Amino acid sequence: MSAATLPATGGRELSNPPSDGISNLRFSNHSDLLLVSSWDRSLRLYDAGADALKGEFAHAGPVLDCCFHDDSSGFSACSDHMVRRFVFGSGKEDILGRHDAPVRCVEYSYATGQVITGSWDKTLKCWDPRGASGPDHALVGTYPQPERVYSLSLVGHRLVVATAGRHVNVYDLRNMSQPEQRRESSLKYQTRCVRCYPNGTGFALSSVEGRVAMEFFDLSEAAQAKKYAFKCHRKSEAGRDTVYPVNAIAFHPIYGTFATGGCDGYVNVWDGNNKKRLYQYSKYPTSIAALSFSRDGRQLAVASSYTFEEGDISHEPDTIFVRNFAGRTQLRSSCLLLRFRFVLDV
């Protein structure tokens, strides 16, 4: 693969990164605030533009996911089974509710005003953050899943849940009693990450086997004919392929292109419609744990943090890079210059 590697640094490195693995990071929908959840049991709020740590919120155990409510508050999913809400300015925290096992994912739906969490207790729960006293008053509903929930993604009224055992459930948030679709991942290996397209027509799935599948909600023949999968984040040396898990997918909010990050330490940017890889950033110190685009798509936050794929080994320190994302014109010219490689897996 001789796709062009864009030069320069991995981006600005943020100061005061977490002291242990980064489980997820998110840009706010309203500003350059960045919320970072970490295995060092902290939830951190950064101002990415100013490179300043604005707040740090301690938890009882590793924090596995986080998301914004708005610029003044956010939610955390913690391994101590609790879902919490934090008000950043005052540091006030309250427990929204609890699961029976570590909470793996948390999302906030602007469409319904609800918080949705997925846990290893094989359930999905919806919470109303305005729910008053007591955790159980905030609980809107519990929806059993076939297996432990590994990843969640929302777009509009649709929710996609990826679980262990390669199950994929698609829900309509307006009617959660039954999944809208029960599917199985078209990839043969454990699902790492699922992300919906910003245009709401489908979702992307990544697995531990260096592969990404592009799927569509519309079950008609015509729509399903468009789906495909491709290989990525693999290294070929001496004729042998080494295959890496793809930990993170992030869609550009405007262009619809997307970036993937893998355990090989690389971030690739793809054009899904044309089935091309646009470019690859230079290798990061260690595995890419999470990716997030800013609201205007001009910045991409990259969490370079070992994701424990080889167990407890020594690794590079966990860092957060924020890099400027190429503008459209630059994108076009790089497309022209690049040879593209894209292997289709039928």
Partner 1 sequence: MACPSNDQLLQLETTCGSLLYELQIIWDEVGESDTERDKMLLELEQECLEVYRRKVDQANRCRAQLRRAIADSEAELAAICSAMGEPPVHTRQSNQRAGSLKEELESITPQLEEMRKKKVERLNQFIEVIEQIRKISLEIMPSGCNPLKLAVDESDLSTRRLEDLYRQLELLQKEKSDRLKQVMDHLSSLNALCSVLGVDFKETLREIHPSLDDAEVSKCVSNATIERLATAIGRLREIKIERMKKLQDLASTMLELWNLMDTPIEEQQLFQNVTCNIAASEQEITEANTLSVDLLNYVEAEVLRLEHLKVRKMKELVLKKKTELEELQRRVHLVAEAENQEEFAISAIESGAIDATLILEQIEFQIATVKEEAFSRKDILERVEKWFGACQEEAWLEEYNRDENRYNAGRGAHLSLKRAEKARALVNKIPAIVETLAAKITQWEKERGIEFTYDGVHLLSMLEEYTIVRQEKEHERKRQRDQKRLQGQLIAEQEALYGSKPSPSKSQSAKKIPRTSAGCPSRRLSGATQPLKLDQLHSAKPVRSAKKTDDLGILSPGAKGADIAGLPVKKLTYNAMTTHQEVGMPRKPFAPILPVNNMPSTPSKHIVSTFEENKSPNVMLTPKNPMAAQAPMQVANTPVPPTCLFDQAVAKVVAPAEQTEDSFEERRLAFYLSR
The residues of the shown chain that bind partner 1, judged by CB under 8 A, are 21, 23, 39, 61-62, 64, 79, 102, 104, 120, 147-148, 150, 164-166, 184, 186, 188-190, 192, 208-211, 231, 234, 236, 239-245, 263-264, 307-313, 343-346
State both tokens at 214. 């592009």
- Residue for token pair 């080994």: 313
Q: From the CB of 2, what's the least distance to partner 1, in Å?
A: 15
167 closest CA partner among 153, 181, 177: 181
Q: Smaller CB distance to partner 1: residue 47 or 80? A: 80
Least Å distance, CB 332 to partner 1, is 29
Nearest distance in Å: CB 145, partner 1 = 13
From the list 247, 276, 256, the residue with the least C-alpha distance to 197 is: 256
Quote the least distance from Cβ 238 to partner 1, whole Å: 8
Cα-based distances in Å from 139 to 1, 98, 133: 50, 9, 11
Return the structure tokens found at 144: 């059993």
Structure tokens at 194: 């699922």
Name which of 97 and 245 has its Cβ closer to partner 1: 245
**Considering Cα of 187, then 190, then 192, then 193, what sign does the dihedral take?**
positive
CB of 115 to partner 1, least distance (A): 20
Three-state SS at 122? coil
**Cβ neighbours of residue 27 closer than 8 Å, sequence gap 6 or more:** 33, 34, 48, 292, 293, 294, 295, 299, 301
* In contact, 268 and 232? CB cutoff 8 Å: yes
> What's the rounded Cα separation, in Å, for the pair 212 and 228?
9
Residue with structure tokens 């260690």? Answer: 286
**Nearest approach, Cβ of 156 to partner 1 (angstroms)?**
26
Q: How far is the CB of 312 from partner 1 (least distance, A)?
A: 6
Rank residues 234 and 295 by Cβ distance to partner 1 and give the closer one.
234
Cα 39 to the chain's mean position, in Å? 16
Alpha carbons within 13 A on the beta-carbon side of 269: 25
